[in-house]
Amino acid sequence: MKITKGKVIVCSPGRNFITIKLETDEGVYGIGDATLNGRELSVASYLEDHVIPCLIGKDPSNIEDIWQYLYRGAYWRRGPVTMTAIAAVDMALWDIKGKVLNTPVYNLLGGKCRKGVMVYSHANGKDIEHTLDEVGKHLDMGYKAVRAQCGIPGVPTTYGVPKDGGKYEPAEKGLPSEHAWSTEKYMRHVPELFKRIREVYGDEPLLLHDCHHRLTPIEAARVGRDLEPYRLFWMEDPVPAELQEGFRLIREHTTTPIAVGEVFNSIYDAERLIKEQLIDYIRMTTLHAGGISHMKKVASFAELYHVQTGSHGATDLSPVTMAAALHFDMSITNFGIQEHMAHTDETDEVFPHAYSFNEGYFYPGDEPGLGVDIDEKLAAKYPYDPAYLPVNRKEDGTLFHW
Query: Is there a contact between 370 and 101 (Cβ–Cβ < 8 Å)?
Result: no
Q: Name which of 179 and 212 has its Cβ closer to ligand KDG.
A: 212
Q: Residue 147 Cβ, how far from Mg ion at the closest point, in Å?
A: 9
Residue 255 CA to residue 2 CA, distance in Å, equals 52
For Mg ion, the binding residues in 233-262 under the rule CB under 5 A are: 262
Q: What is the largest CA-CA distance in the chain?
A: 61
First to last CA, the chain: 46
Q: Residue 159 Cβ, how far from ligand KDG at the closest point, in Å?
A: 7
Q: Name which of 168 and 328 has its Cβ closer to ligand KDG.
A: 168
Which active-site residues does the annotation give?
A: 159, 212
Residue 125 CA to residue 50 CA, distance in Å, equals 43
Beta bridge partners of 372: 353
Q: Residue 45 Cβ, how far from Mg ion at the closest point, in Å?
A: 27
Query: Is there a contact between 327 and 362 (Cβ–Cβ < 8 Å)?
Result: no
Q: Residue 173 Cβ, how far from ligand KDG at the closest point, in Å?
A: 15
Q: Name which of 149 and 266 has its Cβ closer to ligand KDG.
A: 149
The CB-nearest residue to Mg ion is 210
Q: Which one of 40, 134, 210, 226 is in contact with Mg ion (CB under 5 A)?
A: 210
Cβ neighbours for 312, distance < 8 A, ≥ 6 positions apart? 261, 262, 283, 284, 285, 287, 288, 339
The sign of the torsion formed by the CA atoms of 248, 253, 257, 259 equals negative
339 binds Mg ion (CB under 5 A): no
Q: Name which of 22 and 260 has its Cβ closer to Mg ion.
A: 260
Q: Which of Mg ion, ligand KDG, none lies near 339, with the C-beta cut-off 5 to 8 A by kind?
A: ligand KDG
Q: Residue 370 Cβ, how far from Mg ion at the closest point, in Å?
A: 24
Query: Is there a contact between 40 and 11 (Cβ–Cβ < 8 Å)?
Result: no
Q: Name which of 235 and 370 has its Cβ closer to ligand KDG.
A: 235
For Mg ion, the binding residues in 261-320 under the rule CB under 5 A are: 262
> Parallel, antiparallel, or unpaired for β 356-358 and 117-125?
unpaired
Query: Is there a contact between 212 and 259 (Cβ–Cβ < 8 Å)?
Result: no
Q: Which residues in this chain contact ligand KDG in the complex, by CB under 6 A?
A: 37, 170, 210, 212, 262, 312, 314, 316, 339, 389
Residues near Mg ion, by CB under 5 A = 210, 262
